Amino acid sequence: MLNIAFIAHDRKKDEMVNFVIAYEQAFVSHKLYSTGTTGTRIMEQTNLQIQRFCSGPLGGDQQIGALVAQNEMDLIVFLRDPLMAQPHEPDITALLRLCDVQGIPVATNIATAELLVKALVRGDFSWRELVHKYKPGVDQ
């Protein structure tokens, strides 16, 4: 079971909901997280249970970032709107930087999201199970 987060800017929420509907069976056996409204909209349209955080501008990106910093997030689908200025852009940049630091796969558009979910279905994320099993600082 992997930890997967969904984040979508306002003009990308419909696209995110449609994406998750299309791949619902791929996500059903994983622990799912999301920022507030995105998670609510996904749960209204699917049978998935999602742990929701605050909306992005109110700290949701940072809450997910905290899991990334602890290397507890395995995959993030973050559908960004590159044509709209975001008031919490520093939080977004920090989250993406943390993903790079921890080596967490993150999709910022639907094309990359589809590639990552296909890899998830194939089992290409089994290396993340090793990360969870052998966390530094945890007694073996």
Instruction: Report residue 118 as tokens.
Output: 């296909």
Active-site residue among 61, 91, 124, 139? 61
CA dist., res. 74 & res. 103, Å (int): 9
Residue 101 burial by Cβ neighbours in a 10 Å radius (0-12, 13-18, 19+): exposed
Our answer to whether residue 91 is catalytic in this structure is: no
Q: Are strands 3-8 and 31-34 parallel, antiparallel or unpaired?
A: parallel
Nearest in space to 135 (alpha carbons), one of 61, 48, 57, 70:
70
Task: Find where tokens 């939080």 sit.
Answer: 91
- Cα end-to-end span (Å), the chain: 20
Instruction: Report residue 60 as tokens.
Output: 């949701």
Catalytic residue numbers, as ranges = 61
